[in-house]
């Protein structure tokens, strides 16, 4: 054990009862894991959506029928099937069906443009797509250039009965107007596919742990979108790692006879919600509250005001937006046991406000599409926000590398590299990029810059490519944003680099005001007092909002452009 502690010093700081390692080989496939949960928790509620509840038994029956339908289409083991929907009950049913049929899930952002969708469908070679009809017009504009042969159209009312159209706010806000009913020739309605599948034979495929489960495309905010190849064993490992790490919280809830309920406000097509909400909840026999549009904060808070929940995974922007909303106190936060922050850096000011208002600290974690996603997290028994991304999960190793690939000692900055059973098999059909991302000893190079202390707690400094070089000095956006976010009157802020004739690059600060009286001079005065000269903003711009991805990450490239 001493040698293990010298190699993994962070094990000393695990919550009591959390193991150093788990056994990912206990399941051959995700299908075996899901079948166990369907059987074990049959009568429990699995999903809550718009006042309707779905049991594990019903999810089992629906997904089995849809799996039989997909097989009936002639799709064979290893074929890719795209899923393009927001957080609606059809999503977990579709994912379970695709995997049970021996196929590969290709998660797609429903707000993609036709160009983005065409790239992902062509790159993945998807032969079928399950899509919410409200986004069918996007598919219609590019399907001819893809290999998609089968379309299953879902509607908001599927599986639910009449919904009075309330959820279509998601579409109205994003697509500006409701699109007409979408009827591509040959497309089959979701409910019809279920009905046909109920009458069709289903053949259980013989899956192996090295079979592909998911093609998870990277966000594409820094270049062409690539598919991370996640094998069944990768996601199984991350589920079991996360379950073990979260066990202290699970015990607090289930020990009192309650069913662990998680708020799923992050989009399921994103790997954070896919694994850490949907799949983990299924694994633990939990209940998931599906939130279709997290940007509609009044609707989110209205739904949560009707619910009792224990776990809330979110990103900094969502924590911040909810905590500042006037309806925040209409929700009963007293049952909340764990708030997990991921996807982007959690700012100290936001974490303090969240703790003050809920009594539940944010446990910041870290992960990537390429790691299924979870790599590290703060212990879920933490009583305060640490400002770190915590310690590596069971079975996980992390180290920091310099530009020559050599490991740097604690306290120095380096690129974070990760090794563990959750690390992807590679990038889909991109062996050169896969080779560039991996070290000779099997570590995945994340592209994130960090430091680590003597205990093994890691801190993200920033993305390598987001670093700004001012007269030869490195400026890291996270540091500047963390400081400026503490200024009274600032709701949100972001920093980018812009070209400068004298210094090469200069700091540009974009601010969303909470207080309209906040002036540029007040900000400059504050920055002069808190940041050294080369870190101070040359340009300050006020905006009404920051451009973000659907997951809540700030799109820095758009901030470099003038409004």
- Do 402 and 510 lie in one domain? The reply is no
146 assigned to some structural domain: yes
46 assigned to some structural domain: no
Map tokens 């933490």 to a residue: 382
Enumerate helices (H) and strands (E) in the chain, giving the number of each.
Answer: 18, 26
Map tokens 């495309």 to a residue: 217
* Residue 563 confidence (pLDDT): 62
Residue stretches of the chain with pLDDT short of 70: 1-3, 161-183, 219-223, 472, 562-563
Give the model confidence (pLDDT) of 462-520 as tens digits. 777 787 888 767 788 888 999 899 999 999 999 999 998 778 889 999 999 999 999 99
How many Cα atoms are found within 13 Å in the side-chain-facing hemisphere of 490?
Answer: 26
- Residue 76 CB neighbour total at 10 angstroms: 12
Q: What is the pTM of this model?
A: 0.87
- Do 399 and 453 lie in one domain? The reply is yes
- Do 267 and 329 lie in one domain? The reply is yes
* Residue 479 confidence (pLDDT): 85
Q: Point out which residues pair with 510 in neighbouring strands.
A: 494, 541
- Do 347 and 493 lie in one domain? The reply is no
Domain stop point among 463, 480, 515: 463
For residue 130, give the nearest of 69, 45, 74 by alpha carbon: 69
- Do 334 and 477 lie in one domain? The reply is no
153 assigned to some structural domain: yes
Strands 45-49 and 52-55: antiparallel
289 assigned to some structural domain: yes
Q: What is the CATH number of the domain that holds 66?
A: 3.40.50.980
- Do 336 and 377 lie in one domain? The reply is yes
Q: What are the CA-CA distances from residue 205 to residues 74, 75, 195 (Å)?
A: 14, 12, 21
Q: What is the CATH number of the domain that holds 494?
A: 3.30.300.30
* Residue 167 confidence (pLDDT): 45
Q: Give residues with Cβ within 8 angstroms of 325, minimum separation 6.
A: 297, 298, 301
144 assigned to some structural domain: yes
Domain stop point among 428, 463, 498: 463
- Do 262 and 201 lie in one domain? The reply is no
517 assigned to some structural domain: yes
Q: DSSP states of 404-465 as a string?
A: TSPBPPTTS-EEEEEESTTS-SEETT-HHHHHHHB-TTSPEEEEEEEEE-TTS-EEEEEEGG
Give the model confidence (pLDDT) of 349-365 as tens digits. 999 999 999 999 999 99
Structural domain that includes position 114? 30-37+51-207
- Do 279 and 341 lie in one domain? The reply is yes
Dmax (CA) for the chain in angstroms is: 72
Split into its structural domains, the chain has a count of 3
Domain stop point among 166, 192, 207: 207
Q: How far apart are CA 69 and CA 189, in angstroms?
A: 12
* Residue 3 confidence (pLDDT): 52
- Is residue 272 a contact partner of residue 367, using CB atoms and an 8 Å limit? yes
- Do 440 and 473 lie in one domain? The reply is no
- Do 375 and 302 lie in one domain? The reply is yes
225 assigned to some structural domain: no
- Do 480 and 451 lie in one domain? The reply is no
- Do 202 and 351 lie in one domain? The reply is no
Q: What is the CATH number of the domain that holds 436?
A: 3.40.50.12780
218 assigned to some structural domain: no
């Amino acid at each position: 054990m001493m040698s293990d502690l010298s190699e993994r010093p962070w094990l000393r700081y695990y919550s009591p009862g959390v193991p150093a390692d788990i056994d990912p080989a206990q399941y051959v496939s995700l299908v075996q894991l899901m079948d166990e949960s369907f059987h074990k928790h049959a009568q429990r509620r699995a999903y809550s959506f718009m006042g309707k509840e779905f049991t594990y038994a019903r999810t089992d029956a629906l997904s089995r029928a849809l799996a039989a339908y997909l097989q009936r289409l002639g799709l064979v083991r290893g074929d890719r099937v795209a899923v393009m929907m927001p957080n609606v009950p059809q999503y977990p049913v579709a994912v379970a069906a695709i995997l049970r049929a021996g196929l590969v899930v290709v998660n797609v952002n429903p707000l993609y443009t036709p160009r983005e969708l065409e790239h992902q469908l062509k790159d993945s070679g998807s032969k079928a797509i399950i899509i919410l009809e409200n986004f069918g017009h996007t598919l219609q504009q590019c399907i001819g250039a893809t290999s998609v042969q089968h379309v299953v159209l879902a509607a908001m009312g599927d599986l639910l009965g009449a919904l009075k159209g309330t959820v279509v706010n998601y579409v109205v806000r994003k697509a500006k107007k409701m699109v007409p009913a979408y009827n591509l020739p040959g497309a089959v309605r979701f409910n019809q596919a279920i009905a046909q599948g109920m009458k069709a034979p289903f053949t259980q495929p013989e899956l192996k742990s090295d079979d592909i489960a998911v093609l998870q495309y990277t966000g594409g905010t820094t270049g062409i979108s690539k598919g991370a190849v996640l094998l069944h064993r990768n996601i199984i490992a991350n589920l079991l790692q996360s379950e073990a790490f979260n066990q202290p919280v699970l015990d607090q809830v289930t020990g009192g006879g309650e069913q662990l309920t998680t708020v799923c406000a992050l989009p399921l097509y994103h790997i954070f919600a896919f694994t850490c909400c949907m799949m983990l909840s299924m694994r633990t026999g939990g209940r998931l509250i599906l939130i279709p549009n997290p940007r509609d904060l009044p609707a989110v808070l209205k739904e949560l005001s009707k619910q009792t929940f224990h776990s809330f995974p979110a990103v900094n922007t969502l924590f911040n937006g909810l905590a500042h909303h006037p309806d925040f106190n209409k929700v009963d936060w007293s049952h909340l046991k764990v708030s997990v922050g991921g996807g982007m850096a959690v700012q100290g000011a936001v974490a303090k406000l969240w703790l003050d208002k809920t009594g539940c600290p944010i446990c910041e974690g870290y992960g990537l599409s390429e790691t299924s996603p979870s790599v590290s997290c703060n212990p879920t028994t933490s009583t305060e926000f640490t400002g770190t991304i915590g310690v590596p999960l069971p079975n996980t190793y992390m180290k920091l590398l310099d530009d020559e690939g050599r490991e740097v000692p604690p306290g120095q900055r380096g690129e974070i590299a990760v090794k563990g059973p959750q690390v992807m098999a590679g990038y889909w059909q991109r062996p050169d990029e896969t080779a560039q991302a991996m070290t000779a000893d099997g570590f995945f190079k994340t592209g994130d810059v960090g430091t680590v202390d003597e205990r093994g707690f890691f801190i993200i400094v920033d993305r390598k490519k987001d670093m700004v070089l001012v007269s030869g000095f490195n400026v890291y956006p996270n540091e500047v944003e963390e400081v400026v976010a503490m200024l009274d009157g600032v709701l949100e802020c972001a920093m980018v680099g812009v070209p400068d004739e004298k210094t090469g690059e200069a700091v540009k600060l974009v601010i969303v005001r909470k207080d309209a009286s906040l002036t540029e001079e007040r900000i400059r005065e504050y920055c002069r007092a808190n940041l050294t000269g080369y870190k101070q903003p040359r340009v300050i711009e006020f905006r009404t909002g920051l451009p973000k991805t659907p997951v809540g990450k700030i799109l820095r490239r758009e901030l470099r452009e003038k409004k």
